[in-house]
Structures are given as structure tokens and as C-alpha cells.
Structure 1
Amino acid sequence: MEKNKPSILNAWCMYDWANSVHALVIVSAIFPIYFSNTAVNAQGGPDVEFLGLTVNNSALFSFAVSFAFLFIAVVNPILGAIADFSGQKKRFMQFFVYLGALSCLGLYFFDREHLTIGILAFTLSLIGWSGSIVFYNAYLPEIATENRFDKLSARGFTMGYVGSVLLLIFNLTMLIKPEWYGGIDSGTACRISFVTVAVWWIGFAQIPFYYLPNGTPSNEARTGGWIWNGFRELKKVLAELNHLPITKRFLVSFFFYNMGVQTVMYIGTLFGSNELHLPDNALIVTILLLQILAIVGAYFAAVLSGKWGNTKTIALILFIWIGVCVSGYFVYTELEFYGLAAMIGFVMGGVQSLSRSTYAKLLPENTPDTASYFSFYDACDKFSTFLGTTIFGIITQLSGMRNSLLFLAFIFVLGLLILRRIPSQKIYRTPLSGT
């Protein structure tokens, strides 16, 4: 297909605009606060009954994230291979979008008496959101030339940050000015905000669904159905990865440092709420600040990578992440939390956008198996998120959140040490026989 076509590039970026409202409103801002206030026992304490077990609500939130990402990490490599063979990449993306958005609608019915509904809907929304991302990311090397990967990836994340902030501001008006909406209570305002996420996500996703290509079925003559040939496709890509040592090394590094990034993003709001007991308004303002700084960070990382190379830029960002985790251990005041959030915001956008574009540069040139390759990237993303949030939840359950932050600092160090063994040329190209 023709690369660098403006209408397709713009449509691709629009999916970041469409789906990022889930990451902000559901994962980071309103839902975690609503969850903390709703998932409580009869005395108002954080220990709740779930499936016959007594669990700290912060740990339960963390375990729900862990389960969703473990599930996606297991199934997406298979689905990615099937999508490559069948040429149905967009259909798979659509399925996960509708699953995630409809699950956000289900969160409307989550209250103190229906904890199971809330956990189930939240988990399914994460599965839908994360499942769609692998097929979305797989379009990047198909629609753009390599010299545009970094800036296009940063542009997508930036549009996501802007769009999600706009919807969050609208949702905040229901909480701050309930009289504008007939005097609704804060709980109803939160539940309506979950519905707005579903409508926004499905509505704006129609733009990339219209413009992005469906994909081309494999022209290899094979017997059997899509599932069987999907496993064959997966086996082929695994064999190719064995001849791509730099790509494999980057995936290992990404696995470790992404474990820290995603855990901070999913648990950070709960740290401010449960550990520092900050008011809800302060937390939401902090999250808005974080999103704005992430826009600056994403573009700054793209510019810096053009001068230093990708891995050197990511290494600098990881140094800052290590400082964030160590500093978080000593944070006790609202002002200190704001400073920490500002640091997180600046490095959050950069590490996400640059990781995606760096991996795209490490793929074999003109490979037709982009969904399969990105399914391994996504598997590293989801397995690391599963492991990070699980360990964070266990440490929190046993000894509190602050000790969990030291664990995150350690895994950032591991990711940095592995990353330093990867060359940082501005433009990567890894042939199948690469070294």
C-alpha cells in the first residue's frame, strides 16, 4: 500500500484520540477514585469481600489489571498471527474496541452492592482496550516510512492526551458543577462519565475503521482453517525472531522497564488517594497536569531521538523514572506529590511513544507479518504489566505501597542495563540475518 498518505496517517492517529479516554478516565482518573470510595466494607474500610476472600481494595484493583493483561498476553500472539494470515487485522481491532467500550457502559451499574459487576466490567474493558492496541500499533510500519516513525508515534500519543483531557474536563464539570446537570450526586456523575468514555471511544474509532486498510491475506498456499494457519504463522515469526538478536534484546529491556512504567500509571492515583489521603479534586488536577506534560515529553523525546538516537534517549528517560520511584518512597505531602506527578508526566509520553517507534524500526524491512511481530511487543507489554501490578499488589498487601516503589526502581535499573547493550543509531534496520 501507499505509505505516508496523509488521510491514512491522520486516521491512524485518531485511534489514539479515540481510545486514550479509557486510559485516562477509567484507568487513571475518575474510576480509581470512584473505586476507592465504592469498594469498601460496611465500616468504610478498604478490606472487602470478593469471591469469598478478604482483599485490600488497592490490591484487588491491581489484581484485576494483572488478570486482564495476562489474558491478553496469552491470546494476542495467536490472534495476531491469525490476523496476518487471514488479512482481517481491522476486524480483530474492531472486536476488541466494541468489547472494551460496551464494558465501560457496564460500569454504570457498579455500586457498593455490586462489586463483582464493577470488577468484571473493569477487567473486560481493559481486555478490550489492550487487545485493540496490538492491531492498531501493527499498522505503523505499513502506513509510514521509517524516517517518520518517531514523530508519527509521538503525534498519535499527543492526540490521545489532548482528546482524553478534553473529555475528562467535561466529566469534571459534572463533579464540580452538579447544578448544571440537575443537581446529580457525585456517584451518578462518575457513572455517567464511564458512559461518555464508551460513546467517545466507539464514535471516534469509526474514523480509523473507515480509512485504515483491511489487510491482505497471506498468499502462501496452506491447508486448514485460520486458526491452524495462525499457529503456523506464529511459528514462522518466532523462527525469524531467533535471527534478530537486537530486536530480542530490546524486547527484554522493554519487558523490564515497561513493568515499572505501566505499574506507576495504573497504581499512581491509588497511591495519592490511599497512602497520602489527598482530596479527590487534587488527584484529578494532578492527572490533568500529568497529561499536559506528557504531550511536551512525547515531542521532546522525538526531537531528542533524532539527535542522539532512540536507545540513548530512552536510557535518559529511564534514569528519570528511577529517580521518580526512589523519590516516591519519601513523598508525604501534597506539594511533593505534585512535583512527582510532574516528573512522571514529562517522561510518560516520551517512553511510550519512543518505545513503539523503536520497535517498529527493529522489524525486518517490508515484512507482511506486522500484527504477529507487534503481538510479541504487546505480549511483553501485557506480561510485564501483569507481573508488575501483581508483585506491586502482593507487596502492598504485605507491607504497604512505599516498599513497592523500591521494587519498581529495581526493575527500571534492569531495563536500563539491558538497553545500554543496544546500538542507538538514528535509523534502525535489522535484516533477518542481523546481529
Structure 2
Amino acid sequence: MQNDIKKSIYSWALYDWANSAYATTVMAGFFPIFFKSYYSVGTDVTVSTAQLGIANSVSSFVVVLLAPLLGAIADAGSLKKRFLFLFAFLGILMSASLALVEQGNWELAAFVYALGNVGFMGSNIFYDGLLPSVSDDKNVDFVSGLGFSLGYLGGGILFAFNVFMVQEPDFFGFVDKAEAIKASFISVAVWWALFSLPLLLFVEEKKEHKKEKFSLVLAGYLRLKKTFERVTSLKGLFLFLVAYWFYIDGVDTIIRMAVDYGMALGFDSSSLIMALLIVQFVGFPATLIVAKLAEIWDTKKVIYLSLLIYIVIIVFASMMEKVSEFYILAVMISLVQGGIQALSRSYYSKMIPQKYSAEFFGFYDLLGKFAVILGPLLIAGVALFSHNSRLSIASVATLFVIGGVLLFFVDEKEISKEVREALD
């Protein structure tokens, strides 16, 4: 029995290992570079930045629109795995399909990429929904953390191999770097599919009473409406969520647009890829250190420290001239990227009662998905109107400033008391 439990836990966590390859190699790594130099070749760098920003925003908006529906379906336990693999299949297929898009066809490349993002983000909704099926109150933190850590390692390992492929295309029998990058998109699809199999085979869902599908959809939207009314009535909690929405938008925007910005400055793509590897492998221990610092010091203060570092990152990025400075930027990002995400979640958990955790975290996750819309659009708009890539990246600082100012008025102890009085 104990072995079966361990098998289900590690099988579940391996899905993070599987699909993080898409997040690293495709979303953060090669696609932004390839989009600018291959799919959108000959286009002004600020225009291609806008094109990529819009593709990211549209895909995120689609998932936001679908989230209530997906959440309702996920409540029917026996459908979680089925829909996880439906969306995973979409992401896997689109990742491989990027290899078929011809040079200069940026419209098709953006469309395929957006669909791949929908598959990636949509599958994660059901992946998160399966967590209660493989954990209990005693080990849920460990199990959730295991998935996070394996995602860092799995995505980093394949990305490192893909970087080697692109830097040494002759060694692998490729004609040039472009062919190696296309092959890396296919390798992501294979990796994602292969390491998803343990979840398919060894994770058993907790069975729940099935309802008629239409009533599930309706119940999902009604539940979202009820939760929204409840959260907005709790002014302190709602204030934190608005603050979180602003600053996490800045975090996600930097994750998705940093490489594109480096390309706009004329930095060599190989150097940008190496910088991403720094983020991937330095980020894992840095996240643990930041979490430990929060235990010793204070969660809110460490979040503030992270926001301050992000503002310094933005200012530094807007003045960069050398590739070596991009490496420094990568180290700075890796120090806070994972930590601010982890601490925001734990800080929020201190404010909400245990018996309402699923409901309130559902709303929290929805905001997280919504947060990938504003930032890329902000960059796209500033880039189009100013024709200045430095000004477009500098505009992201406003998201951290607004989030930080709102966070100043948040008192987790008072909010926790307010929530208990309102709900108990």
C-alpha cells in the first residue's frame, strides 16, 4: 500500500517534469528567439515584440474565459485525467507543429504557439485538481513542492540538451541552427508525452458523484460568481489579490518577454539561451533560500524585498548595453522569480480559513492566469507607439510599483480576523 502511494505521488509530480519542457524550451527559450529571427524575419524588432506580446495575451485570455468551465468539469473527479490529457495533447501537437511552420510565416507561428500555450495552461488546471487524489493534509506541501522542484529539473535538463543541439548542430546531423531549433520543438513534444505516461497509468482519481454535464458548466459559473462576491466583500483580502494581480503580472511578463527584449537589443541568441539556463538552475536553490529567509524574517517583508529587486532589474534592463550585463540580469531574476511566487501563495494561505481553501485558491489561481494578459499588452502597446524597446521594458516597472503600494496597506492578521468573522 505504501509503495502504491509513493508511486502515485511521483507519477503525479513527473507531469511537472514533463510539461515544464514546454515552458523552458518553447515559451521562455527558443520560440521568442526563433519568432524574431525566423518566423518574423525582416520585421522591425518593436513590431515583432508586439506580435509576440499579443500572442501571449490572447492565449492567456482564452484560458481565463475557459477557466470557470474547466473548473466545473474538474469537479467531476473521473473527468480530470481525461481533460488533462486532452489539453496536454493539444500542447504536445502544437509544439511539434512549430517545426512545420515555414520561415516568414509569423501569423501561423503565432497561432500555433498560442494554441500550444492554451494546451499547456489548460492541462495545468486539471493537474492541480489531481493533487488531492495523491496527497492528504499531512503531505500536501511536500507533494506540491516535489512537483515544483521536478519541474525545474526536468525543464532544465531537456533545455540544456536542446541548447547543446543548437550550438553544435553538425554533431547531431542538422544542416543549421534553425533545423536544430525545430528539432528541439519536436523533442519537447516527445518529452512531454513520454513523462506524462506515469500519471496516466498510476494516478487514481478520487471518484465523485457525476452530474449532468450542462449542470456542471452552469454550477461552475455560478460558483465563480458567488466566490467573486464573497472575496470582494472582504475588502482587505480583495486588496491583497489586486496587489498580487499587478505584481505577479510583472513577474510573468519578464518570464515570457525577457529573451525577446534581449533580441531587440541585438544580443546573440546563444548568449540569451545560456542566460536562461542560469535562471533555470540557479532558481531552484534560490527559491529554497528565499523561503527560508521568510521563515527567519517575515513573509511580507521578503515579498517587498523581491519587488524592490524586480524594480532594480527593470531599471538595469532598460540601460543594458552588453551581453555580459544580460547574464547579471539572469542571476538577479533567478534570485527572486520562484521565491516571490511561492511566498505569495503561502502569504495568501495565512489569510483564509482551511475549510474554504479550495474555493479561495481557485479564485487566486484564476487571477494568476489573468495576470499574463496586461503585461505583454503593455509592452506591445509601448513598443508600437514609441518604437523603443527600452521604454517598453521599463513600462513593466509600473506593475511592481502599483502592486507594492497596494501591498503596503495589507495586514494579513487583520484580514485573517476579518475573514473568520465573516465566514464562521
Structure 1: state its 5+ residue gaps: 48-54
Q: Does structure 2 conserve the Cα–Cα contact (< 8 Å) formed by 1:63 and 1:393?
A: yes
Q: Are 1:332 and 2:334 matched, yes or no?
A: no
From 397, 407, 419, the counterpart of 1:409: 397
* CA deviation vs aligned residue, 1:374-417 (integer Å, no higher than 9, x gap): 44323312322111101111101122221123321121022122
Q: Give me the whole-angstrom Cα distance separating, in 2, the residues matched to 1:69 and 1:14.
A: 24
When the two chains are superposed, the root-mean-square deviation of aligned CA atoms in Å is 3.1
* CA deviation vs aligned residue, 1:256-315 (integer Å, no higher than 9, x gap): 01111111111100111112x111211111111111121122211222233334333322
Q: Give me the whole-angstrom Cα distance separating, in 1, the residues matched to 2:329 and 2:213.
A: 56
Q: 1:223 and 1:122, CA in 2 relative to 1: closer, same or farther beyond 3 A? A: closer
Q: 1:20 and 1:218, CA in 2 relative to 1: closer, same or farther beyond 3 A? A: same
Match of 2:179 in 1: 188
Letter of the 1:270 counterpart: D
Q: Are 1:57 and 2:55 matched, yes or no?
A: no
Q: Are 1:126 and 2:124 matched, yes or no?
A: no
Q: Does structure 2 conserve the Cα–Cα contact (< 8 Å) formed by 1:77 and 1:375?
A: no
For this pair of structures, how many residues does the alignment match?
418
Q: Are 1:322 and 2:322 matched, yes or no?
A: no
* Mapping 1:102-113, distance limit 5 Å: 102-113=93-104
Q: 1:135 and 1:415, CA in 2 relative to 1: closer, same or farther beyond 3 A? A: farther
Match of 1:22 in 2: 22
From 407, 413, 423, the counterpart of 1:419: 407
If the length of structure 2 is used for normalisation, what is the TM-score? 0.87
Q: 1:206 and 1:355, CA in 2 relative to 1: closer, same or farther beyond 3 A? A: farther
Q: 1:208 and 1:309, CA in 2 relative to 1: closer, same or farther beyond 3 A? A: farther
Q: Does structure 2 conserve the Cα–Cα contact (< 8 Å) formed by 1:85 and 1:230?
A: no
Match of 2:245 in 1: 255
Q: 1:183 and 1:9, CA in 2 relative to 1: closer, same or farther beyond 3 A? A: closer
Instruction: After TM superposition, give the deviation of residue 350 of structure 1 in Å.
Output: 1.1
Match of 1:389 in 2: 376
Q: Does structure 1 conserve the Cα–Cα contact (< 8 Å) formed by 2:40 and 2:105?
A: no
If the length of structure 1 is used for normalisation, what is the TM-score? 0.85
Give the structure with the larger helix fraction: 2
Q: Does structure 2 conserve the Cα–Cα contact (< 8 Å) formed by 1:17 and 1:159?
A: yes
Q: Does structure 2 conserve the Cα–Cα contact (< 8 Å) formed by 1:89 and 1:215?
A: no
Match of 1:46 in 2: 44
Q: Give me the whole-angstrom Cα distance separating, in 2, the residues matched to 1:142 and 1:239.
A: 29
Match of 1:231 in 2: 221
Structure 2: state its 5+ residue gaps: none
Compare 415-424 and 334-343 and name the one that shifted more: 415-424
Q: Are 1:376 and 2:380 matched, yes or no?
A: no
Q: Does structure 2 conserve the Cα–Cα contact (< 8 Å) formed by 1:271 and 1:401?
A: yes
Match of 1:271 in 2: 261
Match of 2:35 in 1: 35
Q: Give me the whole-angstrom Cα distance separating, in 2, the residues matched to 1:137 and 1:80.
A: 10
From 163, 166, 185, the counterpart of 2:154: 163
Q: 1:267 and 1:391, CA in 2 relative to 1: closer, same or farther beyond 3 A? A: same
Match of 1:51 in 2: none
Match of 2:292 in 1: 303
Among the aligned pairs, what percent are the same residue? Answer: 30
Q: Does structure 1 conserve the Cα–Cα contact (< 8 Å) formed by 2:40 and 2:104?
A: no
SS at match of 1:156: helix
